[in-house]
Amino acid sequence: MSAEFSSPTLSRGPRGLMLEGVALADIAARFGTPTYVYSRAALVAAFDAYRHALDGRPALVCCAVKANSNLGVLSVFAALGAGFDIVSGGELARVLAAGGRADRVVFSGAGKSRAEIRQALRAGIHCFNVESAAELDRLDALAAEAGTAAPVALRVNPDVDPRTHPYISTGLKRNKFGVAFSEALPLYRRAAALPHLRVRGIACHIGSQLLDSAPVVEAAGKVLALVDQLAAEGIRLDHIDLGGGLGIRYRDETPPTVAAYLAPLLELFGERPEELCFEPGRSLTGNAGLLLTRIEYLKPGEEKNFAIVDAAMNDLARPALYDAWHDVAAVVARDLPPRRYDIVGPICESGDFLARERNLAVEEGDLLALLSAGAYGMSMSSNYNSRPRAAEVIVDGEAAHLVRERETVESLYALERPLAQG
């Protein structure tokens, strides 16, 4: 990729970095920092890439809500007719509040509670991606109680190595997700026999930040063989869900385009009638968002120079958690000799870094943008150190819309009370 930035709508102009038609400096002045900023055009373009690639065949693109669960972001996808992949009752509530359609929701996750299952049955979701025999039984019982039949897919574990970070690889036998391939057939028979289940589909998700479609094609091949085996027994599925996983460029990775990623899968599927589902997260929102932060202090040292910023690991956990790389860009370029900095936050942990060893020409008070932060950024944030979480803004052309207010300190302890002591 030759563009200066991985984000398609980020550029550098006379007023510094611009997301679409809005200067990041103006966003900081108006909303403060730290602030997550997303580009609506980039969100739409990412979704459209899936839509166009799947054009002409029955397909459903379910945005993985865990990657970015802001109502503003979800509403952009809902308006495009997206489906959603959820892993909790909380995410279902968010989808509905954002205008998403329940009948386009798939519910993944190995630990669905009774309350969450009831909530999803009431809402009338598209499908439960069931991850164990015990969950099948629970779902059947709760559907009976609700006087309905629950739509189910089994999430199978194709035991394919996705060749990604071990923390985000999910399709191997040793992972807790899905049911073993060898158990799938008997479990489908059991599901088909349970009176309050409607067997609808099959699902798999092998991992995240995949930079090549080969492992997914391998998994899909195994899944299709199973689908045909089921059909031979009279268990016919109407959708095949291949999960999420397509990676993005954070640094110098060269992930395939959405079209190139999907092409071998579409070829494999040919004229098959089943609806093809995907659950992309990172590839929809990752490069559509950045974290805007301000330098509080510059702290030169003998071994290292630190730029201490007002964002921290509670805002963006990926560097601390996965040693993940996020590009750092000074919002306004300065005519200074660059220096090498570790970008760190105010939290009392050595792991509180956002980036290491970056050459930057900056002064105290300058703004920095941590790029490719639109996925698993805000959605993984916390209040550690009693830090109110960041504001979130969506830019749309020349306009900037606040889609989440900055938290207040009072809201952090609003549900707590001092212990009354005798």
Catalytic residues: 348
Complex with ligand LLP: residue 128 or 376, whichever CB lies closer: 376
Footprint (CB under 6 A) of ligand LLP, residues 51-70:
64, 67
Residue 281 found at the interface with ligand LLP (CB under 6 A)? yes
Complex with ligand LLP: residue 211 or 400, whichever CB lies closer: 211
Least spacing, CB of residue 219 vs ligand LLP, in Å? 13
Q: Which of 89, 158, 171, 280 binds ligand LLP (CB under 6 A)?
A: 280
Task: Write down how long the chain is.
Answer: 422
Residues 6+ apart with CB under 8 A from 245: 162, 205, 206, 207, 208, 209, 210, 216, 280
Residue 110 found at the interface with ligand LLP (CB under 6 A)? no
Footprint (CB under 6 A) of ligand LLP, residues 178-207:
205
Least spacing, CB of residue 288 vs ligand LLP, in Å? 13
Taking contact as CB under 6 A, which single stretch among the options 3-11, 90-98, 238-246, 332-340 is the one that binds ligand LLP? Answer: 238-246
Residue 245 found at the interface with ligand LLP (CB under 6 A)? yes
Residue 279 found at the interface with ligand LLP (CB under 6 A)? yes
Footprint (CB under 6 A) of ligand LLP, residues 134-173:
168, 170
Q: Which of 89, 151, 243, 255 binds ligand LLP (CB under 6 A)?
A: 243
Euclidean distance between CA atoms 296 and 109, whole angstroms: 40
Footprint (CB under 6 A) of ligand LLP, residues 296-325:
318, 322
| Total of chain residues touching ligand LLP, rule CB under 6 A | 22
Token reading at 193: 């026999």
Residue 244 found at the interface with ligand LLP (CB under 6 A)? yes
Least spacing, CB of residue 187 vs ligand LLP, in Å? 18
Footprint (CB under 6 A) of ligand LLP, residues 3-62:
none
Complex with ligand LLP: residue 83 or 245, whichever CB lies closer: 245
Binding site for ligand LLP (CB under 6 A): 64, 67, 85, 108, 168, 170, 205, 208-209, 243-246, 279-283, 318, 322, 375-376
